[in-house]
Amino acid sequence: MPDSPIKVLIIDDSALVRKILTLMMRKDPDIEVVGAAPDPIIAREKIKELNPDVLTLDVEMPRMDGLTFLRNLMRLRPMPVVMVSSLTERGADVTLEALSLGVIDFITKPKGDLGNQLTELGEELCAKVKTAARAKVRGAMPAASLSADAVLPPPRRRHLNTTDSLIAIGASTGGTEAIKEVLLGMPPDAPGIVIAQHIPPGFSRAFAERMDKLTRLRVKEAEDGDVVLQGHAFVAPGDHHLLVERSGGRYICRINDGPPVNRHRPSVDVMFRSIADCAGPRAVAAILTGMGADGAKGLLELREAGAHTVAQDEATSVVWGMPGEAVKIGAAAEVLPLGRIANALLAAPAGKTGAGKHPGAGAQAIAGSGR
């Protein structure tokens, strides 16, 4: 963390929420709340006066809506923003639009007794403020007590003889926009795709619907029993793990409510492990921008099972935690800028990825990544 505390400005039209957010962040010695504003008009003046490092921003406010404010902010004075959003269909849509405008991350504002419920979000809020403050800088969350073993045993790698390939994508902070770019690069007949993005309930469906409208693929929130078809992409539902298993000649989505892994549910490690077990060399996988290390070990298991593996490079990642850790442990056969990942996933010859079986070579791939 920086030598001086992270300066935060809170923007929310609710006096109660401003007070609670202030109290929560003041408990963290690495964060200093320098001010609060009830709307974006007042916030503009406070930004000039207080020069904050990070903003927390409500979605819907009087005098100027949050999206208009964000567009102006990112054009005139780009800075890290953490959205505070409501768990509603409208709130989810607006938050996803905000992420497309450059918001680093968001927390959900629950309904009901805000005093009690928002207090429970203090640790999450402080962690995301710190992530926002060092966005574009490699960082990692403290190690969690649970690994993918809590949900699945290690992969058996008993792969059925099949020509079907499968694309797997995992991401966290900054991932909604990174995933969008990868999916935009996919043709309508791309191999089936499964996605684990760290996202809360109520937002995963909205995210899938948004990708369905923007891309040439059929994208949906995964449901138990969904068949992973060509030209389709399946997003892990918030607060559930997404596993893939083989049933005859088909890949099937399985929804699992096992414990959080690496503090996340859905967990990228869990999804990657299930694919290492059922698809192995028939899979190609990418780990994109995100804080922490979730997915790195799973990507290594995929590589060791013969899958071709890709990590997003540091220059194009919002936070180079997850992909950086994957590179560190030799899980990535290639390290590429975001704009080249879709083509790499499509070009990888599933079943002919022997070069990916040598942990430690991933770091060498940076030299050829075009960075």
Is 172 among the residues known to form the active site? yes
- In whole angstroms, what is the distance from residue 231 CA to residue 228 CA? 9
- pLDDT for 153 equals 60
Q: For the chain, give every domain's residue range.
A: 7-133, 148-366
pLDDT per position as a tens digit, 205-253: 999 999 999 999 999 999 999 999 999 999 999 999 999 999 888 999 9
Amino acid at 256: N
CATH class, domain 7-133, is alpha beta
Whether the predicted pLDDT of 148 surpasses 80: no
Plot region of 263 (φ>0 → left; ψ -120 to 50 → alpha; else → beta)? left
Matching fold, domains 7-133 and 148-366: yes
- In whole angstroms, what is the distance from residue 279 CA to residue 192 CA? 12
- In whole angstroms, what is the distance from residue 198 CA to residue 203 CA? 10
pLDDT bucket at 95, cuts 50 / 70 / 90: confident
Which of the pair, 100 or 364, is modelled with greater confidence?
100
Average of per-residue pLDDT across 113-123: 69
pLDDT per position as a tens digit, 16-46: 889 989 999 999 999 999 999 999 999 999 9
Q: Are the C-beta atoms of residues 361 and 332 closer than 8 Å to each other?
A: no
Q: Out of 164, 269, 294, 313, which one is annotated catalytic?
A: 294
pLDDT per position as a tens digit, 320-346: 999 999 999 999 999 999 999 999 999
- pLDDT for 108 equals 83
- pLDDT for 59 equals 80
Q: Out of 58, 85, 86, 198, which one is annotated catalytic?
A: 198
pLDDT bucket at 359, cuts 50 / 70 / 90: very low
Whether the predicted pLDDT of 139 surpasses 70: no
Cite the DSSP H helix spans in the chain: 15-26, 40-50, 66-76, 89-100, 114-120, 122-133, 175-184, 204-214, 268-278, 296-304, 322-328, 341-347
Q: Out of 147, 165, 172, 274, which one is annotated catalytic?
A: 172
pLDDT per position as a tens digit, 253-311: 999 999 999 989 999 999 999 999 999 999 999 999 999 999 999 999 999 999 999 99
- pLDDT for 350 equals 53
Domain 148-366 has CATH 2.70.98.10: no
- In whole angstroms, what is the distance from residue 33 CA to residue 367 CA? 42
- pLDDT for 140 equals 33
- pTM score, whole prediction: 0.83
Is 198 among the residues known to form the active site? yes
Q: For residue 52, what are its two tokens?
A: 């904050």
Q: How many other C-beta atoms are found inside a 10 Å radius of the C-beta of residue 75?
A: 10
Is 149 among the residues known to form the active site? no
% of the chain exceeding 70 in pLDDT: 82
